Chain A
Amino acid sequence: MDIILAITVGGLYAAGIYMMLRRSVVKLLIGLGLLSHAANLLIFTAGGVIRGRVPVVPAGEMQPLETIADPLPQALILTAIVISFAVLAFALVLIYRTCQTLGTDDLDQLKATDT
């Protein structure tokens, strides 16, 4: 299953990167979204996947009875999901406001601050 997940992660990255290279700001944003899915799935896959095996200690026990899924990547991803959502939401409003202020959704028109 590792291989298939790895390919999926690569595909998500490719799609995200392609979308970010477009000129439309909305595509840029969708690309960011795809990229954050990809990063989460990457951590998940890299940490090692085991079917089932929820990392919960059964009631009455002091330790899990069998091998469980690695809980740490899950915790990391949880944090990362929330952070990337917050950032994405901000970016979304930023882009919304930019489109509104500048009257365009074409990134190639946004060069005034560089040159």
Chain B
Amino acid sequence: MFLWLWVILIAAGLAPGVSRMVGSRGGWLLALVPAGVAVCLLQQWPAVVNQQNVSAAVDWVPSLHLMVSLRLDGLSLLFGLLVTGIGALVLVYAGAYLKGDERLGRLWMFLLLFMAAMLGVVLADNLLTLFIFWELTSITSYLLIGFNSDRPESRASALQALLVTGGGGLLLLPGLLLLGFAGQSFEISELLNHADQIQQHAFYGPMLVLILLGAFTKSAQFPFHFWLPDAMAAPTPISAYLHSATMVKAGVYLVARLHPVLGGTAEWFWMIAPIGTATMVLGAVLALRATDLKQILAYATISVLGTLMMLLGIGTEATLTAALVLLVAHALYKGGLFMMAGAVDHAVHQRDIRLLGGLRSVMPATCGAALLAGISMAGILPTFGFIAKETWYEAVGSQASVPYLVASVLSNIGLVAAAGMVCITPFFGRQTDAAQQAHEGGPALWGPPVVLGIAGFCLGLLPGPFSELLAAGSTAIAGQDVSVKLKLWHGVNAALLLSLLTLAGGFLLYWQRHRLAGVITATDRFMPWGPAGAYRWLLKSVNQLARGQTAILQNGYLRYYLLMMVGLTVFSVWMALGGELSSHLDPMPFDFRIHEVMLAGLILMSAVVAVRAKTWLLSVGALGIAGYAVAGIFVLFGAPDLAMTQFVIETLTVFLFVMAFSRLPDFRRLSSVHTRRRDALIAVVAGGTITMLLLFAMTVRSDHPISAYYAAHSVPEAHGRNVVNVILVDFRALDTLGEITVLSIAAIGVYSLLMLRPAARPGSTDSSGNEADDSSRGSAQRGN
């Protein structure tokens, strides 16, 4: 089974080469790959219908419960055949559609990548594997929708589809994880045995909501449906494949797949069936509003997706089977209709049905394809679409759920009219100007839709052999054995009468569609308030929020950044200390001598002078005096080495200041009084905090510092009498190495700052450069 995926991936890698070497006919060559996979899938048919499921697994990340496990049952096989079968036709079709375009190779590559991802989704047994493939379909869909990347609306649609389906994916992920945690396994086949336990679990509600949101966004359910019509910006082969036949069904697939695990509860019904019904009706109504061929088809697709959800939500054996039948029928006719629309677009460069007409004579083959598919879409004998509709009505009707049945009939009436709009309007009636220059495309353009149309007829006429696969599929969805007997003719029953009613209503609606124009324009003004408008509003507001927040936070004023840091430090220190402070601050012994106090006073005074000075020279001088006074403190308390160093360094610092800023004017008063008062307050609070912290630290001072060791071992082992020096050069020599490194890097930095300039202005600054460099070299010597 892994081989199938690999083969498709390899074909994707080869696709650009094929397009360069073989040209547009390479589509036939590439189509052999999915066709071959389809044949392999068919070989599994006997095993699958006998409930012998085929599986394969490889460990990927065991600690995350991620195993690439694949499993083929009736449902997977059905989807797999659709993915590969329609995929093969689309590859051929795409070759003709983009004939001569240098991007053809890329299109094939993306299509094949998508095919592999989609096949992975339907084959995956592990929840996380399923999710991985699921995300890959979103990404390939993004790339494909934006295929005409030079058009802004393509890029916007691609982004919209990605954000909606990707956002849904991000909800799906925690949903699947919760499911896995609740069921204590991430293998779907394993979870089937724990359905009760999962439905009792506290996570059941949240996981259901999250998973369904993922499925609803992917399958374009209301209110997330708006991305699908916009996705029609993609070239038509993509619309035919991803956005009608396969990818949008992934959500339906997921709901079907998890039905035996999560389904059968009231929550399940009430969360899915109403949404599905709303989507179904809305899609049908919106389809009638549209005038663009692809838009009509897109809304009709939404309607059918809604139906599928509704059927799955109702969740009886009959509705589950009906969903499966409808799904196959829809994939066949809608894929064909999209390809037909593409062929028309390709020939006429026009998709607006108001400007199309009379194409029958110039494009007979395409017209034939359209009719084949259209009959199935309208649900007329003897197509598979007819069987689908019969089964659907029967299944919903047997539940005696009248609202759902009425909604179904109404939406189907709309779809019949829509079928007329796409299959009859462009081909019959008066030939328009645009249609006159048109001519039929090659067989690769009309062949694939004809094949799909004929397939719909064949399945309609001979549904027998197919029933057993549908039975296997329904069994997988229902979680128990289901037998399916499809027949084209059921005799005259309620479902048939409803079908006739639908057809009659649909034809009437199509006939009188111009009368709807007034209604349509009347509803136009509500459109900005729809979900699409909400999406745009949300996008705009998040962007505004981002800009606003960033303008406030990253405002460019260094002093605000500093204020934030200082404030945070003070705040967090007080928060951490909490109320414990008072109990710790015992009165300390007031043991001091007058010269010490004077020295400390000198430090404080020079700090004040440095702050209040009006000229920079005075300020720097005060800084120097403070430094010397600190050196004095060092002398008094047994640190003469420190004092020496401090003295030298301080002198150098003052010297550097004088060198650098000698030409600078005096300080200007830049801040307002208010600002200065505020800053002073903050500074004093910060300083006070440090004092408190220091006093606090001294009350808990350790009695056994490691330095006792240094005093004891300095002479005997390190052979030095000055313990501080011994620490520097021996016990903690690595620190000193780092210190020297810092000095030398600073020297390089000073040198490069002064000498390396973008716009060289030689001469004027050389002297100061040398001096600054000298001074740091001087200090480097002390460091040694």
Contacts and interface: CB of A to CB of B under 8 A. Distances in A.
| Whether chain A touches chain B in the assembled complex (some CB pair under 8 Å) | yes
Interface of A: 1-24, 26-30, 33-34, 37-38, 40-42, 44-59, 61-64, 68-72, 74-79, 81-83, 85-90, 92-97, 99-100, 105-108, 110-115
Nearest to A50: B638
B727 interface: yes
B754 interface: yes
A11 B603 contact: yes
Contact of A13 (B668, B686, B779): B686
A17 B687 contact: yes
Interface residues of B, number: 106
Q: Is the interface of A mostly helix, strand, loop or mixed?
A: helix
B707 A1 contact: no
B490 interface: no
B482 interface: no
B620 interface: yes
Given A37-B630, A44-B639, A21 B660 contact: no
A44 B749 contact: no
A59 B547 CA distance: 70
Interface stretch (B152-160, B271-279, B556-564, B573-581): B556-564
Given A30-B610, A56-B723, A90-B750, A70 B707 contact: yes
Contacts of A48: 698, 701
Interface string B729-759: 0001001101100110110011001100000
B609 to A, nearest CB: 9
B661 interface: yes
Given A1-B591, A82-B743, A55 B724 contact: yes
16 contacts: A6-B691, A10-B692, A16-B607, A21-B679, A23-B670, A26-B664, A47-B705, A55-B638, A68-B638, A68-B711, A81-B642, A89-B779, A90-B753, A96-B661, A106-B670, A110-B558
A55 B732 contact: no
B772 interface: yes
Contacts of B714: 57
B638 A53 contact: yes
B693 to A, nearest CB: 9
Contact of B727 (A1, A27, A72): A72
Contacts of A81: 642, 645-646, 649
User: Which of A18, A87, A115 counts the most chain B CB atoms within 10 A?
Assistant: A18
Contacts of A12: 603-604, 607, 626, 687
Contacts of B636: 51
A3 B697 CA distance: 12
B640 interface: yes
Contacts, number: 295
B588 A3 contact: yes
Contact of B772 (A21, A56, A89): A89
B712 interface: yes
A5 B642 contact: no
Contact of A108 (B557, B653, B711): B557
Contacts of B688: 10, 14
Given A21-B683, A26-B616, A90-B750, A56 B722 contact: yes
B746 A90 contact: yes
Contact of A68 (B656, B701, B715, B723): B723
B633 A44 contact: yes
B608 interface: yes
Interface string B601-621: 001100110110000100110
A114 to B, nearest CB: 4
A105 B682 CA distance: 24
Contacts of A16: 607
B604 A11 contact: yes
B554 A86 contact: no
B711 A63 contact: yes
Most buried by A among B626, B687, B727, B750: B687
Given A17-B566, A24-B668, A93-B660, A3 B701 contact: no
B684 interface: yes
A6 B653 CA distance: 25
Given A14-B686, A55-B638, A71 B710 contact: yes
B637 A2 contact: no
A12 B633 CA distance: 14
Nearest to A76: B735
Contacts of A113: 556
Given A46-B698, A53-B638, A61-B715, A5 B600 contact: yes
A6 B695 CA distance: 7
A2 B699 CA distance: 11
Nearest to A41: B630
B754 A10 contact: no
A23 to B, nearest CB: 4
A88 B722 contact: no
Contacts of B638: 49-55, 68-69
Contacts of A88: 653
Contacts of A78: 641-642, 645, 724, 728
B183 to A, nearest CB: 50
A70 B705 contact: yes
A100 B758 CA distance: 13
A92 B591 CA distance: 40
Given A15-B608, A79-B736, A107-B557, A33 B653 contact: yes
A22 B670 contact: yes
Contacts of B716: 62
A4 B619 contact: no
Given A85-B779, A105-B664, A64 B724 contact: no
A83 B19 CA distance: 63
B695 A3 contact: yes
Contact of B607 (A15, A53, A69): A15
B627 interface: yes
B10 interface: no
A21 B608 contact: no
B98 interface: no
Given A34-B626, A51-B637, A57-B711, 18 more contacts: A9-B690, A12-B607, A13-B683, A21-B563, A21-B566, A21-B683, A23-B559, A24-B668, A55-B724, A56-B721, A68-B638, A70-B705, A71-B707, A75-B735, A77-B639, A79-B739, A89-B750, A108-B557
B355 to A, nearest CB: 50
A10 B668 contact: no
A108 B566 CA distance: 19
Contacts of B620: 30
B746 A89 contact: yes
A82 B746 CA distance: 11
B596 A1 contact: yes
B652 interface: yes
B667 A24 contact: yes
B671 interface: yes
A1 B630 contact: no
Contacts of A108: 557, 670
A69 B705 CA distance: 12
A62 to B, nearest CB: 5
